Amino acid sequence: MGDEGIVTKQANPGKATILALGKAFPHQLVMQEYLVDGYFKDTNCDNPELKQKLARLCKTTTVKTRYVVMSEEILKKYPELAVEGIPTVKQRLEICNQAVTQMAIEASQVCIKNWGRTLSDITHIVYVSSSEARLPGGDLYLAKGLGLSPDTQRVMLYFVGCSGGVAGLRVAKDIAENNPRSRVLLVTSETTIIGFKPPSADRPYDLVGVALFGDGAGAVIIGSDPILEIERPLFELHTAVQEFLPDTEEKIDGRLTEEGISFKLARELPQIIEDNVEAFCDKLMSVVGFQSNDYNELFWAVHPGGPAILNRMEKRLDLLPEKLNASRRALMDYGNASSNTIVYVLEYMIQEGLNIRKDGRGDPEWGLILAFGPGITFEGILARNLCA
């Protein structure tokens, strides 16, 4: 999205700020109501019980639309992707490596256009993906594809899953605040082809992924001490915290195998997040003097891992229903797009803030940017909405 009509506040000196956002998607749009028939046709599966289960899951995820790289053309070229037990990691990576690079370039170009400055002003790249594996990595192919200077400093975050977008913000914040006048391009890019498989009663969780996950890319420009004549800061990234929960590393389990990535998520994952989110949020909020009963005075940009996680957070923190609107909208429109999704949530937050101010209502200045990923890892950023 562009930032037309946005009037921003001044950031604290030296603090990293989000200066622009951008996104990109593959061309294939999937409507949730047509997904079940299409998936079982593509995988040549005729199992009524599994089909009914996927239909139920598609309703409970609240997802309406998603974008995916997978297409009829890809399945015609690589029919083995829809066959059980065939080693296909080489083919998958051929597709994924090209697809994530292209989406990353497109999202970056949108973001840079929204930012309003030139490519030569980008000093660093932070590249995040759980959908590719190669040497050199996607960070180099992104820099090359954009035409960035060879001396642009690069960092990669691989296989950090759903917490990758907020982890990337944390790393970019550290870079921006410790390198005066730097401008960091954070890019996330993901595709589910790396884990696409035919339905199997032996892998019931695969159906959750089919019903929930989507593809795409996100991009963010981060820098401290914005030049207000040419830059419009959107959010100040005040304090960032990462924390893992001991002895939970098997609750989100992903393995790269000869047949692509296989995931297992524990049934108790939403409960574990609910049990630990309050203390994690309180730690961040206390930095600027908020108390645990101040949750509804904040804005909430939460990675929508699924409706169960959002519902449990809302219940545990006694949040007003509208507090998670941006997260629920992102989930509905794009599915869980792994590390990308927090970018889409932040865009929706800016849109909703504009509507709130048009109605003459107040928009919270402080809030939390949150995501949960393998580890179980909690990523959180105490942020100021500079558009509020």
pLDDT in tens, 330-343: 999 999 999 999 99
Measured distance CA(262)–CA(24) in Å, rounded: 25
pLDDT band at 388 (very low <50, low <70, confident <90, very high): low
Active-site residue, from 96, 111, 162, 387: 162
User: Could you tell me which residues come within 8 angstroms of residue 237 by beta carbon, excluding any fewer than 6 positions away?
Assistant: 15, 16, 17, 18, 169, 173, 222, 369, 381, 383
Of the candidates 381, 15, 13, 21, the one whose C-alpha atom is nearest the C-alpha of residue 232 is 21
pLDDT of residue 201: 87
pLDDT of residue 352: 86
**Which of 244-258, 311-325, 344-358 is least confident?**
344-358
Task: Note the pLDDT tens digit of each residue in 35-77.
Answer: 999 999 999 999 999 999 999 999 999 999 999 999 999 999 9
Q: For residue 92, what are its two tokens?
A: 């998958």
State mean pLDDT over 231-254: 96
pLDDT of residue 329: 98
Q: Has residue 354 got a pLDDT over 70?
A: yes
Q: What are the distances in angstroms from CA 37 to CA 1, 40, 58, 252?
A: 33, 5, 12, 28
User: Could you tell me which residues come within 8 angstroms of residue 273 by beta carbon, excluding any fewer than 6 positions away?
Assistant: 309, 312, 313, 372, 376
Check if 111 is active-site: no
Contact 182, 27 (CB under 8 A): no
pLDDT band at 372 (very low <50, low <70, confident <90, very high): very high
Q: Bridge-partner residues for 188, per DSSP? A: 128, 218
Evaluate the omega torsion of the peptide bond into residue 376 and state whether it is cis, within 30 degrees of 0.
yes
Measured distance CA(159)–CA(379) in Å, rounded: 15
Query: Of all residues in the chain, what percent carry a pLDDT higher than 90?
Result: 87
pLDDT of residue 3: 52
pLDDT of residue 141: 98
Q: Bridge-partner residues for 217, per DSSP? A: 24, 189
Query: Of all residues in the chain, what percent carry a pLDDT higher than 70?
Result: 97
Task: Note the pLDDT tens digit of each residue in 135-157.
Answer: 999 999 999 999 999 999 999 99
